[in-house]
Amino acid sequence: MVWTVEAFGEELVFRGFLLNTLQKVLPNKVPSKVRWITALLMSSVIFGFVAHTYQGRFGIIITGIMGLGFGAVYLLNQRNLWYSILTHGLYDTIGFILVYLGLNPNIK
């Protein structure tokens, strides 16, 4: 479920669609690199708020930072979505394993 909905689904929506769309709607007179960085920041904030509001303020901030990381992975790999999907899936899988083993200090 984590790999299908969260890793694949969220990356497809937030990096594959939203990040690219935001970059395209920013003014063309702005340099390309600046448009990509701005789109990355905007999509990361939206990722934190829209997809993870239920986690509260701390969850939104952490998720926004993780979205920034997933987006950076996407951009640094020539916008190949598979790298961010794999990174997201591995991150979530490790998180679930830690919860299962009782090693996550945030969940009691």
Residue 31 has pLDDT above 60, yes or no: yes
Burial letters 26-60, b for 16+ CB under 10 A, else e: beeeeeeeebbeebbebbbebbbeebbeeeeeeeb
Q: Where are the domains of the chain?
A: 2-100
pTM of the model: 0.89
Q: Output the pLDDT for position 5.
A: 86
Mean pLDDT (the chain, rounded): 92
Residue bearing the bigger pLDDT, 13 or 100: 13
pLDDT single digits (tens) 48-62: 998 788 889 998 999
Residue bearing the bigger pLDDT, 52 or 73: 73
